[in-house]
Amino acid sequence: MLPASRERTPNSNAPHAAKCRNWEKDGPRRDDAPHCGLPELLPRGAYPAVMSYGLRDVDGVRVELCDECGFDGREPRDLLTAFAGTYASLEQLAGHPDGGRRPETDTWSGREYVEHCVDGADQTVAMCNRAAGRPAAERLVSLSDAAAATAALVRQMSEAQWDAATDGWPFEVSVRVATLHLLHDLEHHVWDVRRGYAKLALADGIEVATSSR
């Protein structure tokens, strides 16, 4: 079980190593990639009205929240179980018959989302290992790699290592919060992929009835 966060004070001197949830590697961002990360620090009115997600300090605890998928970093979670179940869902979704199809031109296919999830896990595990003073892991190139490395990270962290500050944001984010950030990313994309497959089936099938809201 992940211990409760005790972070309270932002650190404006932390390097801004990445601006969004996918912690992109060196090189240009894919032009066809949907926006997938924490929004840059913009005025409230600059955020899109469709959904909001980000970090908040609530009752002295720094948490990640999302009003689209309902992720709430305040909830007690068994992280080993949560990550194992989410990686298993992604593995199953990657094998879907429509896995290579995009539901819309500007929305990734299921397999593209899975590739992104592996990349996000690779970046997060590396960042957390640096922060905790742990040896670097091998580069993660598959869901099975990501699942094993994430489980090792969760299983082996000490209390002090959970609280270590990472270098991925211009404000203080601990290993604890970065790990929950990864869990949110993976769980949200399971939801994204399922929604994409449903859109494809709605478009392909013979219409009987449709309800929109």
Query: What integer is the mean pLDDT of 180-195?
Result: 97
pLDDT at 52: 85
Position 134 pLDDT exceeds 50: yes
Position 18 pLDDT exceeds 50: no
Task: Say what percent of the chain tops pLDDT 90.
Answer: 72
Higher pLDDT, 27 or 12: 27
Lowest-pLDDT range, 21-35, 122-136, 173-187? 21-35
Give 122-149 as a DSSP string: HHHHHHHHHHHTPPPPPPP-SHHHHHHH
Confidence of residue 12 (pLDDT cuts 50, 70, 90): very low
CATH class of 44-204: mainly alpha
pLDDT at 198: 98
Query: What integer is the mean pLDDT of 31-54?
Result: 51
Helix boundaries (H) for the chain? 79-94, 110-132, 143-156, 159-162, 175-204
Phi, psi of 135 (to 5 degrees): -60, 145
Query: What integer is the mean pLDDT of 46-71?
Result: 84
pLDDT at 37: 41
**Count of CB atoms situated within 10 Å of the CB of 71:** 20
